[in-house]
Amino acid sequence: IHCTAQPFLFNSPWMKDAPRRVMGTGFVVTGPRILTNAHVVSDARYIEIVRLGDDRKYVAYVQHIAHDCDLAVLDVQDKKEKEAFFHGLEPLEFGELPELNSIVATYGFPMGGTQISITRGVVSRIQQWTYSHSGSDAHLVIQTDAAINPGNSGGPVLQEGKVVGVAFQAFVQADNIGYLIPAMVVRHFLDDISDGRVDGWGELGLHYRHDLQNRMVRDILAVPDSDHGVVVTRVFPNMPAWGLLKPMDVILQIGDYPIGDDGLVTMAGRPVDFPEVMEREQAGSEMRLRVWRDKKEIALSFPLKRWDMVIPHSNPHDVVPNYYICGGLCFTPLSRGYLLTMGSWAKVPLGVRNLYFEAYGDPELVSAQEFPVLGIRLPDEINAGAEDYVGQVVEKVNGKLVRSLKDLKQAVENSEGDELNLEFTGMKIPLVLSKSATAKSGPEILLKYHVPEGERL
């Protein structure tokens, strides 16, 4: 797979980065379609695919993409060429989780050559791990010492002729540690898109700890020695468990699986973290819990829901950032995409850092549409001094609360008088602008800095 990618720049959201070439591997699944990693085709502007043994290049497009599990499905763009590309190809079948210490074979086109490469490795670990593509989602992974290098991404990993995983990332701080997306995660993705859309992965929306391993906590909660589980520490608004589960509840069982004091359940003879039970279900599915509360056992059930946060915590992919420019000051929604442009967490203002982590847990903030941050100043005499506010979140305009870029624009345009007082989170002194001067100089500033439009809302 040859992809030309071009993401947007979050600190200059009207611009795109320079095009870059990405190479990866794919394989045919039922459809027929091509399965690969999301990171191979993210922000794609043009995709070409080459079938092994065929020197033609076929133009392809992304049919479905899920950044949370780093998977995508491609198809050939032209109908006649599609018939030629898939002619004679049989879809690969999926297998089950491989056993520890068993051998798997990775197929792909890694750097160092143009022909297909096959490497063998041993399955050394199976556990939940963060997927680096999103940077915030954790799913089951298979660890192996089979070589996984740039270009291998999206390639099938076979055992006894069936796909047991998809190569997708490596542990760069160590030698010979690569990770595979298990077949069951791939099946979840394919089942998800069977209705033509990507719904993602469902969650309950809670934090927990393994406090029952402490005898004193067990005695305080009066949990019988025959029961085990995890202690709920926080429940998040706008999620299924909100208002039903409470801090200090003990989740004893999820679905049909009793939970250990270490948070593990046994599925198909394997110990896994109990959220894996939810991983096997689609968003919207009902999840049953057995809970210990106030010295008695109760039964609860919740529909699983995708966790869509006010401030996106995932790495930005296929995102077109909105923005609003007022007097040469460019505001854009606070997101991980924007914060990455600052280089390090040490450069993120403390108030903004706290807002980033607390907005999804604060009942008053979770209903906000977005939080406008002053992303960049296009220097001009009318905005002199505004550089001290770059990277800060605007909270009010002339005393009016702002909870989206549209709110910001409306507050500016509908303000009375000529004075614009912009109050920022954690800043005691507001930024003061002249409404008439910004309106007069705004078009000139856009022209001077070659900004084609003053907003994208």
- State the catalytic residue, choosing from 153, 314, 335, 441: 153
User: What number of H helices and E strands is found in the chain?
Assistant: 9, 29
Q: Is 210 a catalytic residue?
A: no
The tokens of 128 are what? 């939940």
Burial (CB < 10 A; 0-12, 13-18, 19+), residue 367, is exposed
**Which positions ≥6 away from 314 have C-beta within 8 Å?**
67, 68, 134, 135, 136, 137, 336
Give yes or no for a contact between 223 and 242, defined as CB atoms under 8 angstroms apart: no
Burial (CB < 10 A; 0-12, 13-18, 19+), residue 103, is middle
**Which positions ≥6 away from 163 have C-beta within 8 Å?**
27, 92, 93, 94, 95, 156, 157, 183, 186
- State the catalytic residue, choosing from 39, 139, 188, 313: 39
Q: Is 133 a catalytic residue?
A: no
**Which positions ≥6 away from 224 have C-beta within 8 Å?**
none
CA atoms within 13 A on the CB side of 378: 24
Distance, CA of 84 to CA of 145 (rounded, Å): 36
- State the catalytic residue, choosing from 70, 211, 249, 261: 70
For residue 415, count other CB atoms closer than 10 A to its CB: 16
Distance, CA of 267 to CA of 269 (rounded, Å): 5
For residue 58, count other CB atoms closer than 10 A to its CB: 20
Q: Is 42 a catalytic residue?
A: no
Catalytic residues: 39, 70, 153
